[in-house]
Amino acid sequence: MSNYQNVFSEFTQAELKLLAQIKRFFERMQCDVELANAINQDTVPTEQMARLKEIGVTLDLSELPLALGDQKNLMLYLLAASRDLEAKLDSEVQQFAAKYPLLKLWGRYLAVLYRKRFDDRNNQGQEQAEALNAPFDAWRKRRIAAAKSELGFFGTQIDHPAFAYELSEGCSMGCWFCSFAPPKLSSVFDYNAGRDEALRILTHCINIFGKKTAGSALPYYRTEPHDNPHYIDFLRDFEKLSGEVLCTSTAACGDIAWLRELMEYYRRGAVRYHWPRLSILSAEMMDKVHSAFTPDELLHIELLVQVKNHFRPKVTGGRILAEHAGLRGKEDIDKNNIGMIPQGSIACVSGFNINLVSRTVMLFSPCYVSGKWPFGFRVFAVEKYKDSEHFPIVINEIIERCMPLSPPKERLVKFRDDIVFRPTEDGFDLATPNQLHHFKGKAKYGPLGELISEGVYTYEELMGTLIQKHRLNPIILRTVVQQLFDEGVFCEVW
């Protein structure tokens, strides 16, 4: 059981009831522009109050700071609380928060939530260290380092599952913001006919990578779970085989009966998993969900508001790609004056995507969206398999081809395609969309950075030139190049 499932044990029943209502109130504020504007002016229309009551929000709203003038302190407080940093806030903001008991309760909830998530991420890191397949493990470490380097803060927040299983081809939802921009739904995996094949494929993954790694998976990717009528059967089968309870994020919130069935799957006695996560695409959808479920029923479930006028900036990939050159993350902030760090990608898997309908395997990992990688993930290999017997052959061939433990002698050594090389007085800098990496020491690096940035030398040629022509120490040089490789700064799209 993850730490995250223990979040609610830190609160009394009375506090949980209040938290469920506060959560619902904030959800509504994010969707309902009229309500948000009215509350900012301190005048909530009677019909809005009646609707809030109908959906279970009976709080004393004066215990929350909602007026427009309070917004700056409110945001500062929520930001600090959600990072468990409330104690470090300056006294003015602390005194402001102390006036509002419900805000303090919400802040405590955010702090616990953040702490538990952080603990889960740390535990996950330790579990991943036990992975069975050394080339895959090393490859994933490089990809995770690259994601941190490219995506900055958001790169540190990604869980990096190792697998994604797609049970459909295309997606029926066509969300306006979708960074993956999948084609329309064309077919779904026939679970009755293909269940045995799916189980054999999962078993191969467990045999090749170990139970923990194979179980670190998403059961959807560029697909909507609801599109496959046997989605919940797949979750059950997967759990039986690997022992892992997979997550669900869905935008199909109109099918209340299905949502109930899904929520039932994630309810285990006193333990309540925080799935499914619901993407709310319109105020009407929020209304429907709030009418169907009580605040208590949805306390542990995230409702991710994805309406068009929402304050959170979208990843400018897929359907809404707008590319800028160079330090893309920083330019996004300056040009749009949005004051928030752009996320850069919604991708999270560093490993294999397996589409069970088209029998396609793709090796991929998150990157900053660009004209070359418009969906926010970099693709290293795409192969078809014929059946479950052929599947492990394809996987092992990809491992052999794409996951060397050191830079291959015959391959060109180049920097990742998001990196801009900049020579400096004493070495060189590598600029990514979100970070600057400094490499100092002419004696150590010599013209190494320049030669790699030219992108025309194989590893063998590079080493030969630096050792013979520039007299660099071969032992130090090999160590330095291996370190750069391990840090994921080299292009591995071969």
Segment interacting with ligand SF4 (CB under 6 A) among 25-33, 45-53, 178-186, 384-392: 178-186
Q: Are 427 and 445 contacting, i.e. CB atoms less than 8 angstroms apart? A: yes
- Segment near ligand SF4 (CB under 6 A), from 70-78, 91-99, 153-161, 166-174? 166-174
- What is the per-residue binding string for ligand SF4 in 277-306, x denoting contact by CB under 6 A? ------------------------------
- Residue of 59, 84, 145, 174 that binds ligand SF4 (CB under 6 A): 174
Q: Does 169 bind ligand SF4 (CB under 6 A)?
A: no
The minimum distance between CB 359 and ligand SF4, in angstroms, equals 20
Span near ligand SF4 by CB under 6 A; candidates 65-73, 176-184, 296-304, 327-335:
176-184
d(C-alpha 256, C-alpha 315), whole Å: 29
SS3 312: coil
Helix, strand and coil in the chain, % to nearest 5: 50, 15, 40
**For ligand SF4, the closer CB: 55 or 301:** 301
DSSP 158-217: ----SEEEESEESBS---TT-SS-PPBP-EE--HHHHHHHHHHHHHHHHHHH-HHHHHSE
Pairing mode, strands 163-166 and 267-268: unpaired
Burial track 29-59 (b if 16+ CB lie within 10 A, e otherwise): bbbbeebeebbeeeeeeeebeebbeebbbee
Choices 85-93, 96-104, 106-114, 177-185 (CB under 6 A): range interacting with ligand SF4: 177-185
How many residues touch ligand SF4 (CB under 6 A)? 10
Burial, 75: exposed, middle or buried (Cβ in 10 Å; 0-12, 13-18, 19+)?
Answer: exposed
Q: How far apart are CA 453 and CA 462, in angstroms?
A: 11
Q: How far is the CB of 343 from ligand SF4 (least distance, A)?
A: 14
Judged by CB under 6 A, the stretch of 122-130, 155-163, 170-178, 291-299 that binds ligand SF4 is 170-178
Query: Looking up tokens 């850069």, which residue turns up?
Result: 344
Per-residue tokens: 223:
């697909």
C-alpha–C-alpha distance, residues 297 and 276, integer Å: 12
- Considering the complex, state which of residue 173 and residue 463 has its C-beta at the smaller distance from ligand SF4: 173
For ligand SF4, give the closer residue by CB, 38 or 175: 175
Nearer to ligand SF4 by C-beta: 224 or 332? 224
- Torsion, Cα of 209, 210, 216, 219 (10° steps): 80
**CB of 137 or CB of 166, closer to ligand SF4:** 166
Kindly state the tokens that stand for 164.
Answer: 């994604």
Candidate list 36, 138, 145, 175; residue touching ligand SF4; CB under 6 A: 175
* Smallest separation (angstroms) from ligand SF4 to the CB of 90: 39
- Taking the alpha carbons at both ends of the chain, their separation in whole angstroms is 40
**Which one of 77, 100, 154, 180 is in contact with ligand SF4 (CB under 6 A)?**
180
Between 45 and 254, whose beta carbon lies closer to ligand SF4? 254
Task: Pick between residue 140 and residue 222 the one whose CB is nearest to ligand SF4.
Answer: 222
C-alpha span between 199 and 433 (Å, rounded): 40
182-201 residues near ligand SF4, rule: CB under 6 A:
182
Q: Is 178 in the site for ligand SF4 (CB under 6 A)?
A: yes
Nearest to ligand SF4 of 143, 314 (CB atom)? 314
Q: Which amino acid is at 227?
A: D
Query: Min. distance of Cβ 164 from ligand SF4 in angstroms?
Result: 11
Please identify which residue in the block is written with the tokens 């707008």. Answer: 322
Q: Minimum CB separation from ligand SF4 for residue 314, in Å?
A: 11
Binding flag, residue 171, ligand SF4 (CB under 6 A): yes
Residue 72 neighbours by CB distance under 10 Å: 11
> Shortest approach of ligand SF4 to residue 16 CB, angstroms?
30
- The radius of gyration of the chain's CA atoms, rounded to the nearest angstrom, is 25
Tell me whether residue 146 or residue 178 sits nearer to ligand SF4 (CB atom).
178
Closest to ligand SF4 by CB, 173 or 452:
173
Spell out the residues 6+ positions from residue 377 whose beta carbon is closer than 8 angstroms to its own.
345, 347, 349, 364, 365, 366, 367
User: Interface residues for ligand SF4 in 205-224 (CB under 6 A)?
Assistant: 222, 224
Options 39-47, 168-176, 191-199, 206-214: segment touching ligand SF4 (CB under 6 A): 168-176
Instruction: Report 221-260 residues binding ligand SF4 (CB under 6 A).
Output: 222, 224, 251
Burial label, 108 (beta-carbon count in 10 A; 0-12, 13-18, 19+): middle
For residues 177 and 445, which CB has a smaller minimum distance to ligand SF4 in the complex? 177
| Binding interface with ligand SF4 (CB under 6 A) | 171, 173-175, 178, 180, 182, 222, 224, 251
